[in-house]
Amino acid sequence: MKESDGIMLFHDCSSQIYWWLKKQRHVKEESLTDWLLYQVSEKCPDIYYQAFTKHEKAENGCDWEWWILTSDMYSEEYCAYRFLVQAKKLYLYTRDNYPLLSYSNKNGMQIDLLINEAKYKDALPLYMFYSTGESDINEQMKNNPWLSEETFRWCEDCENGCYISLASAVYELLFGGSRRKILDGDLLNCSFKLSLCDLLFVRDAERLLNRMNQILIQKEQNRNNLPGVIGIKHYRKGIPDYLKMFVERREEDLSWFEREMRLTDIGGIGVIDLRRKE
């Protein structure tokens, strides 16, 4: 993905979801997710995605697993940053989103399951919010200090139906004080627009990912400290075999992949490949 190519992939997909939500307010969250992941993987050869058999999200709170690949400056191999994503279609206007995000089942609260699974897997837990609500860019900049003001201003006036938020920010909003109504605007203000990814992935993405990872390491000292893993950055022996195989054989029919790799705890794998091309 090069800025000079004029690719506005995430802008276009997020805008289309915005208008889809406007025209069909009752569209299902699963339909939006399936469409989004299919579209981005079809339109960009550096993004690929494999959906798995529908799983109940009872055990880990995760809809899909994303990996961002970058070149390893010390070898011919690559580094892989790991993310676990939960998608939520927000309630609009004055309706309370607290019950939606504090949902529990016999295994516990969904947000706790997501965060705990991410710690276990050395991943960053994220939410993908679908909404046509309004956000305050100044609040977004305050709540996402690892992104520059220039980045936020780049698509300040763009229509977006998709927003990304750290699960930790959502958790703080839900449980950081006394119980209160959580409006869609509250959640969007702790998020950033999906359209920003068109800029983030073409301007020194490796530096940005490393910076974000260092901030995470400073905040959380209880990572697993496994060989080949630093924070959410996996390299060499730290990259799981199923990801290596998925990357190497992505052009093949992978209908067998889920069964053979015994991937029973996620709904799919997505890869954004930012490795330097020769």
* Whether residue 67 has pLDDT greater than 60: yes
Residue 209 and residue 207: Cα distance in Å, rounded?
A: 6
Exposure string of 17-54, with b = 16+ CB inside 10 Å and e = fewer, is bbebbeeeeeeeeeebbeebbebbbeebebbbbbbbee
pLDDT tier at 4, thresholds 50, 70, 90: very low
* Residue 21 pLDDT exceeds 90: yes
Q: In the predicted model, is pLDDT for residue 136 greater than 60? A: yes
pLDDT score recorded for residue 223: 59
Cα–Cα nearest to 35, from 23, 20, 54: 20
Task: Round to whole Å and give the CA distance between 25 and 264.
Answer: 32
Contact between 167 and 114 (Cβ < 8 Å): yes
For residues 115 and 122, what is the distance between their CA atoms, to the nearest angstrom? Answer: 10
C-beta separation of 65 from 73 below 8 A: no
Q: pLDDT at residue 222 above 70?
A: no
pLDDT band at 69 (very low <50, low <70, confident <90, very high): very high
Q: What is the pLDDT of residue 225?
A: 67
Task: List 53's β-bridge partners, or say none.
Answer: none
pLDDT in tens, 250-273: 877 777 777 777 777 777 899 999
Tens-digit pLDDT profile for residues 145-179: 888 899 999 989 999 999 999 999 999 999 998 99
User: d(Cα 265, Cα 80) in Å, to the nearest integer?
Assistant: 20
Per the CB < 8 A criterion, the answer to whether 127 and 84 are in contact is no
For residues 37-42, average pLDDT: 93
pLDDT of residue 63: 85
